Amino acid sequence: MSSSLSAALLHLNVSSALSYLIAFGLPALDALIFVLPAETAVIALGVATAGSTDPRIGLLVVLAAAGAFAGDNGAYLLGRRLGPVVGKRVFAGDRGARRRSWAERSLSRFGAAIIIVCRFIPGGRTAVTLTCGMIGYPLRQFVPATAVAGVLWASYAFFIGRLGGTAFSDNPWAGLLLALGLVSLITVLIEAGRRYWQWRRRSARPEPGQRAVVN
């Protein structure tokens, strides 16, 4: 699905109404429909418009950010209204329980910052936004955090797409592959950093029965 959609997007431009629909619709829906390639779509739009200075390009970025914002807040509302039902489906099994536990711990420790960071962690966005709704995380903190996350994510994805499209202006497919490769590399680095940080925290904890040495 992702490859066929990307191929179609490479033929779109700022004059196509479908470009604007995709820019908003996919980021809005992929918070709950996990198979939708929202990030790939925004990157492909960046590739397709690389080299253009049409001011309407800014509208595509705004719509992508607004879609991400709408999706995050929709997930919050769903978690708030239908928490038990959603929890059984999204956080089912031991793996799901660990995801929810991680989300709750991260929110308790980092607050709104984790809402922004998780926009760039695969699977983290849904776990955190749904959990926020389920535990009643304060909207006065959640809403601004998702707004910032949406703007950063949309700008980042579109910029990476334009970077790839500019590097291969005569071969959009190569530009798209380069952009997706860069995003994959950045995602791996973020995830590796997160796991390393968790490992350091666990290593720093004293073993059960040990006392901290005070000089």
Instruction: Check residue 95 and give left, alpha or beta (phi > 0: left; psi -120 to 50: alpha).
Output: alpha
State pLDDT tens for residues 46-55: 888 887 888 8
Q: Residue 9: what pLDDT?
A: 53
Pick 33 or 25 by higher pLDDT. Answer: 25
State pLDDT tens for residues 42-80: 998 888 888 788 888 999 999 999 999 999 999 999 999
Do the Cβ atoms of 126 and 31 come closer than 8 Å?
yes
Residue with tokens 């536990």: 101
Q: Is the pLDDT score of 127 beyond 80?
A: yes
Q: Residue 198: what pLDDT?
A: 66
Q: Residue 174: what pLDDT?
A: 80
pTM equals 0.82
Q: Residue 214: what pLDDT?
A: 44
Mean pLDDT within 22-31: 91
Pick 6 or 108 by higher pLDDT. Answer: 108
Pick 195 or 28 by higher pLDDT. Answer: 28
d(C-alpha 55, C-alpha 185), whole Å = 30
Which of 6-20, 105-119, 122-136, 198-212 has the weakest average pLDDT?
198-212
Q: Is the pLDDT score of 185 beyond 90?
A: no
Q: Which of 17, 11, 5, 31 is nearest to 153 (CA)?
A: 31
Q: What is the mean pLDDT of the chain?
A: 83
Which of 103-117, 120-134, 187-201 has the weakest average pLDDT?
187-201
d(C-alpha 132, C-alpha 136), whole Å = 6
How does DSSP classify residue 122?
T
d(C-alpha 70, C-alpha 85), whole Å = 21
Q: Is the pLDDT score of 150 beyond 80?
A: yes
Residue with tokens 């707004």: 147
